[in-house]
Amino acid sequence: MRGQEVSVGSQLVFEPATGVVRFLRRGRVLLDHVSAAVVYTSAGGQRKKAEVAGRQVTYGLARDGASLSVADGEVELTWLIFPGEETHVRLEAKNIGSQPVRVGELHVLDVTAERGGTFNLGGRPGTWRFFQNGWQSWTPAFVRDVANGTWVNPNTADYRTKHQPHGVPNPPRTLSSEWFTVIAPPQGDELVRSPVPAPALLLGFTTTADQLSEVQLDLNGSFHSLRAIAHADGWLLSPGAKVTSETLLLASDSNPNALLDLYAARLGEAMHARVPNRAPSGWCSWYYFYGEETADDVLANLGVMQTEQLPLDVVLIDDGYETAIGDWLDVSGEKYPQGMQFIARQISETGRRLGIWAAPFGASATSKLLAAHPDWVLRDEQGQPVLAWKHWGVDVFALDVSLPAVQSWLRETFRTLAEEWGVEFFKVDFLFAAALPGVRHDPHMTRAGALRRGLEIIRAAIGERFLLGCGAPLGPAVGLVDAMRVGTDVSINWKPFWQDLSEPATSNAVLNTITRSFMHRRLWLNDPDCLLVRPSGRDSNLTLSEMRTLTTAVGLSGGLVVDGDSLTQLPPSRLKYLKSVLPAFGRSAVPVDLFRNERPGQLVLPVQTSWGSWTMVALMNWEQRSCTTRVRLSELGLPSRAYHAYDYWRRRYLGLLRDEIVIPTHRPHETVLLLLKPPSEKPQLLASTFHIAGGAVEVKDVRLSEGRLVVEMEKAGQQAGQLVFAVPEKQRVTGALANGQPLRTRQISPGIWETRFTLSGTATVELMIG
């Protein structure tokens, strides 16, 4: 039987006698017998757990929320709940004893079946979908089938260090997602047709500066437990002192993708996200030279940028210029005999910016930095240095960012790179090293706090110059980086050598780029990693289809566009692919099947301009065999009506579609990119092939005037391409001009006309219609 209940609005009910809470959504119980807890270590070294549930609570009510308090003699818990359509929850722990304690975990929300807790999501628990967000850039992120999800844990020491900040899940069946998750009921065809789909649940921490946090779901055939945990990392709590968790957001919606958007928006607002107006483009030395480039190689590629008029504004010199990890100001004289300032001047003279790679929170065993300052290294409880990673076989140790001396070194190093070297674009990598477990100089600095402090120092040193994070635990970086790598490294191989979703591979990079697309322009600019368009052969194992899939993912991500080829080796037939995604469109496509498929393959990008609107649809075949793909327009969120369909990569008009898209032969790893546009009673520009967005970037205006359809275009550089027009029945094209010069036109289908030309900067194209 339930005891006396207290209601707070229509979203929250709690029992003062037992300390349990019930969360409701639209009159329906979503979570029942919810509690909160703190895990701490007493002065005598005993590990304890103080819970709100099972105790008489002292409570306070306000217009917008409630506070529930309990104490166990050493620690007092205060649970703060602010219910609503967006419910916010925090947990405070205060030391009320006479001896210090160490706080390990703050369970801001704790539901267990053992205590009578229930999670009423809808459908059988074995059919649920769980968004599993990885800890850092390279950690896999995807919506997991809870009953039979993709294998992601190779169970190696390196994987545990880089990707499992809280250790191996216990029990092993526990699903863990860093900072947030969205848990959704089945999203199959029967629910697409359902008039009232069951709502999905968002649990996400909207502050992330001080504590790493995670959401755990344990299903043992049926629901077992659900927890949202903020990690205080053994925070030393003196008598009378208090520690507060990060803030947890709960929300529900029948559209799980909308919950991801909501979470990113609220996190970005709370953490004051930096979102530049424009995504930069550039060239990176890594994916062709792999650290063996010389100054001559960089200048040769710079020369191609000039000759081809490529609108690439950053020249990023990646790993390899330094003599060792940690010795960032010690440049290899063999590779760069005239120093980096010389390279910076050459780049600047072309109107471009120098970019530099660094891994600022590590020091290699061979570095001068470690030899001079062995005491700067983070150490474990046994006093041993913490190994962060192996760099080409060399041990790299984590630095203790809480040390004032390390902070001063960071500040001066990045000030020198910015002000003396002239670096305008910084790629900081392997950032997880700052957040590894260890005994820090400052006992009140958590892992999240150490990473954030390091980034704050770098940001202050470089000012408003561009900062790209990589290998980074995501949450603490929000508000400090301008862009963030959201996936693994790309590769000249489609699949990794080992079955591991965190390993460098183009398929892995594309997957994370898609699954984290909602972060773009809410937390930062997304970085999908480098584009590789080189031909298959000695320098690449990617097929044409795989290269096009990567190009589509980069182009539709809306984020950074950075090429990783040797431009001196690219033939025109491949250079055109790079040109097709320059400059970045800025907006990201939505994976509409994200909660239906662990490898989503239906990307939808609505495009709205002052002169027209259309939809770009990318359909991916993740399989290693050809197949026939059928997709209903309703699955893509498109109204059922007629659409002109143009195949962007194959440059084919496919006719009018109604209700369904059919790809008879969908090749292995191929992405078919379609432009869908409703017919019009008037002549209209159907598609432009000068950019992957179909005309949104390069077409500035389209107008119909006195029997002429006039298209105003502008795009940096020089590029060949097509314009495709749709002309109503009983009308035909009688001629075309580009900047006053005649253009050839041809009819490619009834009512569909095409013209080809080279766009150099600007053009006015006129289509005469009779």
Instruction: Give catalytic residue positions.
Output: 429, 489
- 589 near 526, Cβ under 8 Å? no
Q: Which two tokens stand for residue 561?
A: 């566009």
How far apart CA 434 and CA 401 sit, in angstroms, is 6
- 118 near 111, Cβ under 8 Å? yes
Element (H, E) at 561: strand 561-563
How far apart CA 569 and CA 655 sit, in angstroms, is 38
Task: Write the CB contacts of 483 (distance below 8 Å, at least 6 apart in sequence).
Answer: 276, 279, 466, 467, 468, 469, 524, 525, 526, 527, 559, 560
How far apart CA 30 and CA 28 sit, in angstroms, is 6
Q: For the chain, how far is it from start to end, CA to CA, in angstroms?
A: 82
How far apart CA 155 and CA 412 sit, in angstroms, is 39
Instruction: Report the DSSP pairing between strands 223-237 and 101-112.
Output: antiparallel
Q: Is 700 exposed, middle or buried (0-12, 13-18, 19+ CB in 10 A)?
A: middle
What single string gives the DSSP state of each residue in 35-98?
EEEEEEE-TTS-EEEEESTTS--EEEEETTEEEEEEE-SSEEEEEEEE-SSSEEEEEEEEE-SS
Bridge partner list, 702? 711
Q: Which two tokens stand for residue 390?
A: 């192996």
CA dihedral 524, 525, 526, 529 (to 10 degrees): -130
Task: Write the CB contacts of 611 (distance below 8 Å, at least 6 apart in sequence).
Answer: 685, 699, 701, 702, 703
- 481 near 120, Cβ under 8 Å? no
727-754 as b/e, with b when 16 or more CB fall inside 10 Å?
beeeeebeebbbeeeebebeeeeebbbb
- Look up residue 560 and give its amino acid: L
Instruction: Cite the DSSP H helix spans in 308-446.
Output: 339-348, 368-372, 404-415
For 157, how many CA atoms within 13 A lie in the half-sphere containing its CB?
Answer: 5
List strand residue ranges (DSSP E) for 695-751, in order: 699-705, 708-726, 733-738, 741-743, 745-749
Q: Which two tokens stand for residue 292?
A: 């063996």
- Look up residue 89 and give its amino acid: V
User: Which residue shows structure tokens 């809808």?
Assistant: 122
Instruction: Cite the DSSP H helix spans in 231-292.
Output: 256-270, 286-289
List strand residue ranges (DSSP E) for 83-194, in order: 87-95, 101-112, 118-119, 129-132, 142-145, 175-178, 180-184
